[in-house]
Amino acid sequence: MIVPRHLADENPHFAFFGILAGSAGNNNLHDRTDISGKRGKQMQSELNQELLQNVWEEIIHKTKQSKNNRLYHYTNVNGLLGIIKDRGFWVSKADFLNDSEEIIYINRILDGVFDKFQTMVKTQFTEDETSRQLWAMYLKVMGEVRDRIEYSGEELEIFVLSMSENPDSLTLWYNYASGDGYCVGLDTLEFISAFSVDNGILHDDLYCVIGEVVYERSEQEEQLLTSFLKLFSFVKEHLYQIADLEKTLFLGIVATIIGHSIFFKDANFANEEEFRLAFISKDLANQVKFRGRRGVIMPYIDFQLKDKLPLRHIVIGPRNNSDIAKKGVTYFLKKSGYNLEQIQVDYSSVPLRY
């Protein structure tokens, strides 16, 4: 994924568009070459972009990608009508989803990961004076991040479309389709391609990232720990290109935390089997809309595809046993210009009476 340089330079919150790499450096921290001036700023900007690129690639590498040829979205009948008619989805702001700890859940595991990270770095990277000095700086910056990490997510423009590889989940029927809604199945590759123009860039400052949510705490800790270690290695390897070491470390650490936070959720939500598309931008003020839901004003973005959706399967909810439900779906699809030979329409197999 390419990161517009203005995002990397101007807004530390958008550090999460990147990823890590790593190796080793040499010499003393205080002997770094002066890289100030116009050329130095350009080098620093390019390095920040590379750092962010590395951070994000590491997160995507750790996040499981869909191996299923279909992704499913649960909705009610009005949602189904809107999705097909408008060729798109209403994508909700992350911190307004049903998980009250959405995005900020990661705060709960940071302390343990920080402690493990300190132990590992001491044994792996402190064999020379440069490493020891860099480690001291890393600890200082990590402490600052640790003190300030109780962010609420309000400053982040992250919008999430929740999907699943499970086409007939009782949990999801109840949570998102009232039992009598619909489950919309899409061709995974075609759908992702439509939302991932130019390696994730939808517009100049709008990105789409895709992956399976991680619920197991031990796996979350392992992923975060690995990312911190790779960040340390990356900074050490590029030490003499960095004009402002403290700022670069802060950018990288915050990037790592926020990037992983998109795909980490409490284990109590594991039965949702969520596979999510997250849309991220520096400023979506002109695109954000609002709707009422359960007495709450919900911010969302209406993302529409240029062409018809790659529909392959529609499942009718377990409480919707009307003999005309299937007839209504197929007739609507036909009138909307879809090829019925490409779309399977079924009733749920969940034996639910009410």
Three-state secondary structure call for residue 253: helix
Residue 352 is assigned to a structural domain of this protein: no
Residue 182 lies in a domain: yes
* Tens-place pLDDT, residues 233-284: 888 888 777 778 888 888 888 888 888 888 999 999 999 999 988 887 766 6
241 located within any domain:
yes
Integer CA distances (angstroms), 200 to 46, 89, 195, in order: 19, 18, 7
User: What is the domain extent for residue 68?
Assistant: 5-347
d(CA 108, CA 334): 49
Burial 163-193 (b: 16+ CB within 10 A, else e): bbbbbbbeebbbbbbebbbbbbbbbbeebbe
pLDDT tens sequence across 184-214:
999 988 888 876 544 444 555 666 778 899 9
Q: Is 225 helix (H, G, I), strand (E, B) or coil?
A: helix
- Asked if residue 338 has pLDDT above 90, the reply is yes
Q: Smallest Cα–Cα separation from 255: which of 4, 2, 17, 6? A: 17
Does 353 map to a domain? no
Distance CA(93)–CA(166), nearest Å, equals: 23
Structure confidence by residue, pLDDT tens digits, 48-89: 778 877 777 777 776 666 667 899 999 999 999 999 999 999
Whether 149 is covered by a domain: the verdict is yes
Q: Indicate the helix (H) or strand (E) that contains 185.
A: strand 182-187
Number of domains in the chain: 1
Query: Is 354 part of a structural domain of the chain?
Result: no
Taking all residues of the chain, what is their mean pLDDT, rounded to a whole number?
Answer: 78
What does the pLDDT read at residue 180? 85
Is 275 contained in some domain?
yes
> Is residue 56, in this structure, part of any structural domain at all?
yes
Residues 121-178: tens digit of each pLDDT: 777 766 677 777 888 888 888 878 776 655 444 455 888 999 999 999 999 998 888 8
